[in-house]
A and B are shown apart, each in its own frame.
Chain A
Amino acid sequence: MDKDMNQPLLQLDKATIRFGGLTAVSEVDLQIGEHELVGLIGPNGAGKTTVFNLITGVYQPTSGKISFGGISTANLKPHRLAGRGIARTFQNIRLFASMTAFDNVRAATQLHRARGIRNALWRGRSFRHGEEKIEGHVMELLEIFHLEKFRDEPAKSLSYGDQRRLEIVRALATKPKLLLLDEPAAGMNPNEKTELMRLIQFIKDKFQISVLLVEHDMQVVMGICERVAVLDYGIKIAEGKPDEIRSNPKVVEAYLGN
């Protein structure tokens, strides 16, 4: 690997979480460097989404450490981690259903351009200026994803694929350093998948971010990921370049099949 890996952006050090007697994720080590695209695969129930929830602070690890940008994320709530630069999408789309597409993205820009209550009440020049800037920024993002025509449509009325892309736009509006995508290709047709692969590559380059991708579609994972980690029953059973993973007997047995 040609990148400087001294200081990985995200580091999981024997991250473990137990729910009662069940160890959902067991001593998982994982590193993601700056501007890297890593895949996380494994059978259903292997703990992939749980890893996401650990990274984003939805769950706290029972043991082990997670650090982001060299700083421990222990006891930080999801909104604090979002502020540090971790953004995500959800396996079952979680858009703000009663808001328009525009407002979904706008709500996520608060982190960086927030004007608080006093400004909203006074509605002075700096407030209007701030709101105009936000509007411009949101429209720019929507245009990149060709969603600008749905600007004033309720988010829930968008098609499935558009909702998934809108969720990615919303995540990008938080200006992340690391983007976690939870099964973005689920329910997409082959054309949409190809488009999605191109899009993920594009986002990564354009916004200079790292991406961690959970996905069942091997064409997508093997097609774009630089490195792939495999989970099975909460344990990391393999990690390596896509080609190595494809031929790894453990992975073939646990997940890929013949």
Chain B
Amino acid sequence: MHSGAKRFLIAAIFAAAVVSCFSAQFNRYYLGIAIDVGINIILAVSLNLINGHTGQFSLGHAGFMAVGGYTAAKITIELSGLVPPQLTPLVFIGALVAGGLLAAIAGLAVGVPTLRLRGDYLAIVTLGFGEIIRVILQNMDSVGAASGLKGIPEYTNFFWAFAFATITVYVVTSIVNSTYGRGFIAVHDDEIAAGAVGINPVRYKVTAFVIGAFFAGIAGGLYAHHKQFLSPTGFDFLKSIDIVMMVILGGMGRTVGVIIAAILLTLLPEFLRGFAEYRMIIYALLVIVLMITRPQGLFTFGKSKWTKT
């Protein structure tokens, strides 16, 4: 089981590489959507660690994504003329990781003072954080302010998107599926009881927040080098809500369900292109119907979430 997880990691990255070799044969439009799917899987699975497994309601994921996206984009733009082309993959990885780390630091800075708050209070604070990031970016001339950051090189391809999606899934599931990781779920279930058995709830919450923010930052970097353009309005709270919806639709704390939901909610708007302005209405209806009929999430299998190790 344990080494199986590592094998899965290698196999999935290999598969991504193979598919990526043939990517030139695919329609650019479909390829673009496939990369969107990969990025959204990263976002949803990382948010699932915070909102699902650890039970904290964060609405700040778009903010972390923006921190990572802008950081990575700025780095590659500045370096693109300076390094020889064969080194671009290294520059790209470096920029992504730098963006992820900065987002993680932002997560730490937001998490430490606020994770003593619970439920709705935390939601409001993280919402505020996301808006602050957006307003700061809107007024930063060095990243294009309100008109957005243009001219980002197109480095993201199918391989990078899915390699990082695989790594995200691996990291989140293998952390949670360990004795150490039961602490996240213990905090989710009952903070007082968790404290009574020696689990430090604040520490676990901050850890979840930092890891979640890191991968949101990575996703931001991938997104930036996929769309080649960043605008602060793309990271408003509606973006956070989109990700939260993937987590809720997939079933809080269920990685497989959340991945399926991420795929579905990325494809759905594409199918609904004909009536794009009704997209949010359909989204809303979907969530309402879901919450009434399947409060445990749409894609939930088996009798218990955490029976397996």
The distance from the CB of A214 to the nearest CB of chain B, in whole angstroms, is: 15
Q: Does residue B141 face the partner (Cβ distance < 8 Å to A)?
A: no
| Complex partner residue of B197 from A98, A113, A117, A174, CB under 8 angstroms | A174
Q: Does residue A216 face the partner (Cβ distance < 8 Å to B)?
A: no
Task: Let me know if B193 and A98 touch, CB within 8 A.
Answer: no
Closest residue on chain B to residue A121 by CB atoms? B174
| Complex partner residue of B5 from A88, A103, A109, A123, CB under 8 angstroms | A123
Q: Does residue A94 face the partner (Cβ distance < 8 Å to B)?
A: yes
Q: Which residues of B contact A115 (CB under 8 A)?
A: 178-180
Question: How many residues of A sit at the interface, in one of the four size bands?
Answer: 35 or more
The 8 A CB mask of B189-203 against A (1 = contact, 0 = none) is 110111111111100
Q: Is the interface of B mostly helix, strand, loop or mixed?
A: helix
Question: How many residues of B sit at the interface, in one of the four size bands?
Answer: 35 or more
The 8 A CB mask of B168-188 against A (1 = contact, 0 = none) is 000100110111111101101
Q: Does residue A173 face the partner (Cβ distance < 8 Å to B)?
A: yes
Q: Does residue B25 face the partner (Cβ distance < 8 Å to A)?
A: no
Q: Does residue B305 face the partner (Cβ distance < 8 Å to A)?
A: yes
The 8 A CB mask of A72-107 against B (1 = contact, 0 = none) is 000001110011000110100011111110010011
Taking A83-B198, A108-B197 as contacts, is the C-beta distance between A94 and B180 under 8 angstroms?
Answer: no
Task: Let me know if B185 and A114 touch, CB within 8 A.
Answer: no
A36 to B177, CA, bound (A): 38
A116 to B200, CA, bound (A): 13
Q: Which residues of A contact B6 (CB under 8 A)?
A: 123
| Complex partner residue of A123 from B174, B189, B253, B307, CB under 8 angstroms | B174
Task: Let me know if B199 and A94 touch, CB within 8 A.
Answer: no
Interface with B: A4-12, A126-134, A222-230, A249-257, which one? A126-134
Task: Let me know if A123 and B304 touch, CB within 8 A.
Answer: no
Which of A79, A83, A95 has the most chain B CB within a 10 Å cutoff?
Answer: A79
Task: Let me know if A120 and B175 touch, CB within 8 A.
Answer: yes
Can you pick out 7 interface pairs between chain A and chain B where the beta carbons lie within 8 Å of each other? A56-B196, A79-B197, A79-B200, A88-B196, A107-B183, A111-B198, A120-B174
**Can you add 4 more A-B contacts, CB < 8 Å, to A82-B197, A170-B197?**
A77-B200, A108-B197, A110-B182, A111-B198
Using a CB–CB cutoff of 8 Å, the interface residues on chain B facing chain A are: 2-3, 5-6, 171, 174-175, 177-183, 185-186, 188-190, 192-201, 207, 253, 303-307, 309
